[in-house]
Structure 1
Amino acid sequence: MCAVRRRWGRRQRALLWVMLLAAWEAAWGQLRYSVPEEMPKGSFVGDVAKDLGLQVQELSDRGVRVVSEDRTQYFALQGKTGHLVTAERIDREQLCRLVEKCVLLCELIVEGEMQVHRIEVEIMDINDNAPSFKEKELRMSETTAPGSRFPLPDAHDLDSGRNSLQSYELSGDEHFSLAVQAGPGGDQRPELVLAKALDREEAAFHELVLRAMDGGDPARTGTARIRVKVLDANDNAPVFSQAEYTVRVPEDVPVGSTLVTVTATDTDEGLSQPRTPTMETSDIFHLDSECGAITLLRSLDYEEGDSYELQVQARDGGGLSDTAKVTISVTDINDNAPVISVRSTLSEISEDAPMGTVVALLHVQDRDSGPNGAVGCSLDGDIPFRLEKSFDDYYRVVTARELDREQ
């Protein structure tokens, strides 16, 4: 009779472990919320307890916590309400300046039951930035033909969607009109069009106002003054040897290295010869105005940026100019080691636990890209455990055979 009861007890325990494993597989879920940027600290994001079917009093009993791979923890869990709230004021433009859809990721760990729920929070844009751009002075020869076009400074708006830049307007002079071209990425590029021939003796300068408007409600506007200086005749403009310079460099290229050299020529003589080339101010690259060499000012990091576009301009003494684009592509090297984080672990386990029992939850991440970021995991030594790939970058340590405490 005692032997029968022992066998029945073992079957019950084995059935219990199978049910726990099934619950483990069902626990891997994902929650999605959205919240406007710039909300005060402690603002409501989502009712995690309700969405997961948990009672509020269970949160502390089960050891529920929110973790993130970012250094800054943007979200927190309120134990009294089960609500996910903001832990910091979130600036969408600071976090996702080059990304149209801004999504922050965090994970809800139910430590007592070894459950993980991935949480995606989309940060919605608000119209908190106005378009802005620099004032500019243009120089044009009085022999410039009507219909000629000159690029104007682009306005920049850190907001996205309808809250970003939508249109331009030009006012100030009958000699000029505005044209807006669509760039390869759908961006708007304003151009000044000469509508009427210039006469330096009539007017040596023309003052214009360029306005940029976004689509917010109410709309925000930025303005720039465009000053056109009329010069005496100059027949030929400088010409770069290439309209576009493209170079690929590894991310560990030494600081001070010359990445590319640009050159421009002009068939005119005297003051109409091309002057030193210029480039937009950059804290990463430097243009030597004497020889046209572009050098590196600080170390590159592929994970921070894999491509940079620069514009260089050569202008002669008569005010004519040519512009070339320089594209610098950064290639990844294996400069980051994998990082292993123990998300959860059992402090003890019964020796009669069945094979496949989960004893630890691990997270493995490598910041490199492509093959350099591919990670393989293994357990060393003759131990009764094995690794199983579980969820994205997660692994489980499970029992590989029956345990024997006496051994």
Structure 2
Amino acid sequence: MCSAGRRWGRRQRVLLWGVLLAAWEAAWGQLHYSVPEEMPKGSFVGDVANDLGLQLPALPDHGVRVVSEGRTQYFSLHEKTGHLVTAERIDREQLCRLVEKCVLRCELIVEGEMKVYEVDVEIMDINDNSPTFKDMELEEKISEMTAPGSRFSLPRANDPDSGQNSLQSYELSGDEHFSLAVQTGPGGDQRPELVLAKALDREEAAFHELVLRAIDGGDPTRTGTARIRVTVRDANDNAPVFSQTEYTVRVPEDVPVGSVLVTVTATDADEGLNGHVKYSLKKAMDMASDIFHLDHETGAITLLRSLDFEEGNFYELEVQARDDGDLFDTAKVAITVADINDNVPEISVRSALSEISEDAPSGTVVALLHVHDRDSGANGEVRCSLDGNVPFLLESSQGSYYRVVTARELDREQQSEYNVTVRASDGGWPALQSSRVLALRVLDVNDNAPVFSQERYSA
């Protein structure tokens, strides 16, 4: 009951901070909220109507709605209260697997006023995942001639939670011959190592059973365990050595599946089985293991599935070369993905009129458009234009928004309908294009007097 109360108290503080921050930034046309992950559908996110100063009874009349980027709409607007609420249960680890700060963006469209407000919602982590090892049963083979103080790399646990809720420490139990050392990597990650504390004697004990425990910093804490069986065997005095400490490769995102991207090479001066090197990936539970395959015998790294620059543009692998005597060397492989122009600009009609009076003044807004291209650099730079000689202009609004406005007063008697084609073209080579057609009907006003066919009639 106490731990549940503390968790609820933390959630209340997170929501209160999100409300205060939103009230301060509302004047700038952008709202920021925060909400814990895994909240049920319909949970309160923020009072956008109050923060933006919108009158509650007028919300339906103004056509106020929420639009989220992407296919899934995670937020919606409660029509009666004007509150922004969750439309789906949100799993932070599923949405933001590779980023530390998880922010979902949506837009509040006020159609009656042709206004757009940006809303950022930070998804706060809760301790809903335990540290896990890729393999629950591990085996280490160590020579009985190994000197005390020698270290052996152990598998790392993975915890998709972030911050204090993620993996914090390791513990080792089971045998006086071994102890645990934890090294801190360049990125702050913890790397457990098995340390030989006392000399081994195969005749005294051929096997040693150990338990490696990974612990997170949540409240309450969560743990994951792996059992380690150490087999004692004969001497091996030469470890494999990689030809490079770090391999770097740059590939375009359209490289064919099955291509060999790079081959790592390690040599061992020993003979026989002690000199037989096998390669393995040591970064467990990482997305890269689903994209790349390492040949255990040749060291060739091949592509398992198509790359997408927009999904990920950099991958780092840690490769280990281990001989049969369990001596090893490690090297890093850095793979950079280069962008190509493979995404067509997307034109979204946020709001549009279907009819307009012929006496509407010049500059009347008939449509609000949003243009987006998922490519980067010049490939993602979009230019918009209108096709044909039409009495309309395209004006750049805020960010990636454009407005279609009348260039002059219309005349229904000359033309009663228009099909306005908006075309978007990116800056790639060759350029990719897309278009949207806006249909607009001109309404008549009484602006013409009756006219006789003759000025004078005689009979």
- Is TM > 0.5 for Structure 1 vs Structure 2? yes
1:129-181 superposed Cα distances (whole Å, 9 cap, x missing partner): 11111342222222222222222111111111111111111222222222222
Contact 1:110 1:116 in 2 (8 A): yes
Q: Which moved more, 1:324-333 or 1:378-387?
A: 378-387
Deviation, structure 1 residue 334: 0.5
Structure 2 matches for 1:227-376, cutoff 5 A? 227-279=229-281, 282-376=289-383
Deviation, structure 1 residue 264: 1.9
Question: Aligned AA for 2:246?
Answer: E
Identical residues among aligned pairs (%): 80
Deviation, structure 1 residue 402: 4.8
Kindly indicate whether structure 1 or structure 2 has the higher relative contact order, using CA contacts under 8 Å at least 6 residues apart: 1
Structure 2 matches for 1:206-225, cutoff 5 A? 206-225=208-227
Q: Distance in 2 between matches of 1:180 and 1:278?
A: 21
TM-score, scaled relative to structure 2: 0.78
Give the secondary structure class of the aligned counterpart of 2:50: helix
Q: Distance in 1 between matches of 2:140 and 2:212?
A: 13
Question: Aligned AA for 1:318?
Answer: G
Q: Distance in 2 between matches of 1:276 and 1:195?
A: 27
Contact 1:213 1:222 in 2 (8 A): yes
1:76-97 superposed Cα distances (whole Å, 9 cap, x missing partner): 1111221211111100110011
Contact 2:277 2:297 in 1 (8 A): no
Which ranges in structure 1 are unaligned for 5 or more consecutive residues?
A: 1-25
Question: Aligned AA for 1:137?
Answer: E
Deviation, structure 1 residue 388: 2.1
Q: Which moved more, 1:240-249 or 1:309-318?
A: 309-318
2:156 matches 1:154:
yes
Question: Aligned AA for 1:391?
Answer: Q
Deviation, structure 1 residue 352: 4.8
Structure 2 matches for 1:145-224, cutoff 5 A? 145-224=147-226
Give the secondary structure class of the aligned counterpart of 2:385: coil
Q: Which moved more, 1:97-106 or 1:396-405?
A: 396-405
1:84-135 superposed Cα distances (whole Å, 9 cap, x missing partner): 1111110011001111111111111111221111111111111111111134
Deviation, structure 1 residue 403: 4.4
C-alpha root-mean-square deviation of aligned residues, in Å? 2.1
Q: Distance in 1 between matches of 2:129 and 2:227?
A: 20
Q: Distance in 1 between matches of 2:325 and 2:123?
A: 50
Which ranges in structure 2 are unaligned for 5 or more consecutive residues?
A: 1-25, 415-459
Q: Distance in 1 between matches of 2:352 and 2:218?
A: 50
Number of residues of Structure 1 aligned to a counterpart in Structure 2:
382
TM-score, scaled relative to structure 1: 0.88
Q: Which moved more, 1:171-180 or 1:350-359?
A: 350-359
| Aligned equivalent of 1:386 | 393
Question: Aligned AA for 1:252?
Answer: D
Contact 2:178 2:195 in 1 (8 A): yes
Contact 2:27 2:52 in 1 (8 A): no
